[in-house]
Amino acid sequence: MTTAGTTGPAAGADPPETLDGDGRENERRAPEPEYGFPTALWRGLGRIPVPPPFHPRTWRSPLRGTWLTSVFGAVLLVGLTVVVLTGLMSYIAYGPQFGQAIPADVGGLHLPFFDWPTDPSWFYRLTQGLHVVGGMVLTPIVLAKLWSVVPKLFAWPPVTSVAQLLERVSLLALVGGILFEFVTGLMNSQYDYSWGFGFYTAHYYGAWVFIGGFVAHVVLKFPTMVRALRRGPHGSGAFDRWLHDSPATTEPEPVDAHGLAPVAPGRPTLSRRGLLGLVGGGSALVGVLSIGQTWDALRPLAVLSPRGQSYGDGPNDFQINRTLAGSGIDPVALGDGWRLRLTGGSGEVSLSRADLAAMPQHTAVLPIACVEGWSTTRTWSGVRLRDLAALAGVPAPDNAFVQSVETSGAFARATLQSNQVLDPDSLLALRVGDDDGGPLADLSPDHGFPARVIVPALPGVHNTKWVASIDFRRRTA
């Protein structure tokens, strides 16, 4: 950033010892920008008169500076990496090999396919919990980081070299990408499917825009960040000084070529420690208020989760995404006349609920974890999917296609991988209980009565409710 041709920096004064009310007397000299080719162009740009937001002395918070931005940057470097990787893992967990990840056709942006594991059963719960809760917890830090770099948005001249021009374009992807991903992600975790498929598609492509900007930014800024963190806010590396500072003793960071520290610092109203405490505390508060959506014992704290905290008493007291009423299913279709159809072998097998209940029952304690971030551990009991595959005459299927009695909606069907069918804990569940050995009850109508799928580590969406049929398939040559 430069002041050339706009406000005119104070000549050669040392940084002042005292901070006054308007900063005018305390103006510090910003280093001359290094102009790259074509020098005349950038220099000429800098001479154009611009309104006050583009004057460096407009941005006066004494807390801004390369060190402060680097602190937020270091936290985000780690945190956003986790959020990005777990987000991409969720895409893979949805089964792109079956065309059921959303968006289905992503051209060159497809990820390596691999069979999503069934062990550990809490794997998707963990990755998706990190993705959603992590995104929420990082929100205050993202906002703080953007605040800390706002003066750069108004730097004048806006660019001083071709290399810097490219860097600034990458910033568009970075800042645009992160705002888009956080807004759409938070909206989805709040309103579920109000975005419909638009959400997944937009969030997926937006992620790649962000990843592009993020990688470029990290490559370009990593050395600056490390240097600034070593240097400390006062150029001395003295750690304890900012840890114990008060507004009165909080001095501005030195002015440097990065253009974040103010040339005309105002009086601090908050200490450096206070600002970090505020941002960190905000993050911690968001964390406490959202972790309950994936942590059964803390459920009552999950006030930021749009899903209710209570669904009545007993074993069926847990989140419901689509209710029976919402599914549009005529309840009569789930009554005594309901039959489960198994296909894939030589003939079709048809089973009533009583037939299923008369088969060997298996019990498994498994989480159900929704892409929205909520999850809960339950005890499920029913018939093993592999027993049904054997009954259908396909003991080693390559995959299985499950269809619900529900006909509308994209979540009325799912394809399961071979390992997901064959896992001994993969069930067509008839009954459910809580996770501490209490009594089991029949699935409630909202949770999928007469029968639903439950598979370890499977994204919630593919645990189809109100199952009508399962087609066990062998790979066709």
Ligand X SMILES: Nc1nc2c(c(=O)[nH]1)N[C@H]1C(S)=C(S)[C@@H](COP(=O)(O)O)O[C@H]1N2
Residue 457 in contact with ligand X, rule: CB under 6 A: no
Q: Cβ closer to ligand X: 94 or 472?
A: 94
Beta carbons within 8 Å of 300's beta carbon, 6+ residues apart: 292, 309
Q: How far is the CB of 465 from Mo ion (least distance, A)?
A: 11
Q: Which residues pair with 428 in a beta bridge?
A: 383, 453
Residue 188 in contact with ligand X, rule: CB under 6 A: no
List 261, 370, 422, 443, residue binding Mo ion (CB under 5 A) = 370
Q: How far is the CB of 334 from ligand X (least distance, A)?
A: 11
Per-residue binding string, ligand X, 309-328, x by CB under 6 A, is ---------xxxxx----x-
Q: Which residue is nearest to ligand X (CB)?
A: 460
The encoded tokens of residue 215 equal: 């990688």
Round to whole Å and give the CA distance between 15 and 18.
9
The binder of 472, among ligand X, Mo ion, none, by C-beta within 5 to 8 A per type, is none
List 450, 466, 468, 470, residue binding ligand X (CB under 6 A) = 466
Nearest to 204 by CA among 93, 104, 54: 104
Task: State the residue for tokens 């770099």.
Answer: 149
The answer to whether 157 and 30 have CB atoms below 8 angstroms apart is no
Residue 129 in contact with Mo ion, rule: CB under 5 A: no
List 217, 460, 468, 471, residue binding ligand X (CB under 6 A) = 460
Per-residue binding string, Mo ion, 314-343, x by CB under 5 A, is -------x----------------------
Q: How far is the CB of 304 from Mo ion (least distance, A)?
A: 17
The encoded tokens of residue 337 equal: 């006349």
Task: State the residue for tokens 């450096």.
Answer: 272
The binder of 272, among Mo ion, ligand X, none, by C-beta within 5 to 8 A per type, is none
Round to whole Å and give the CA distance between 460 and 472.
21
Q: How far is the CB of 180 from ligand X (least distance, A)?
A: 23
Q: Cβ closer to ligand X: 261 or 412?
A: 412
Nearest to 386 by CA among 375, 377, 378, 397: 397
Q: Which DSSP state fits 449?
A: T
Number of residues assigned to the chain = 477
Residue 368 in contact with ligand X, rule: CB under 6 A: yes
Residue 464 in contact with ligand X, rule: CB under 6 A: yes
The answer to whether 84 and 211 have CB atoms below 8 angstroms apart is yes
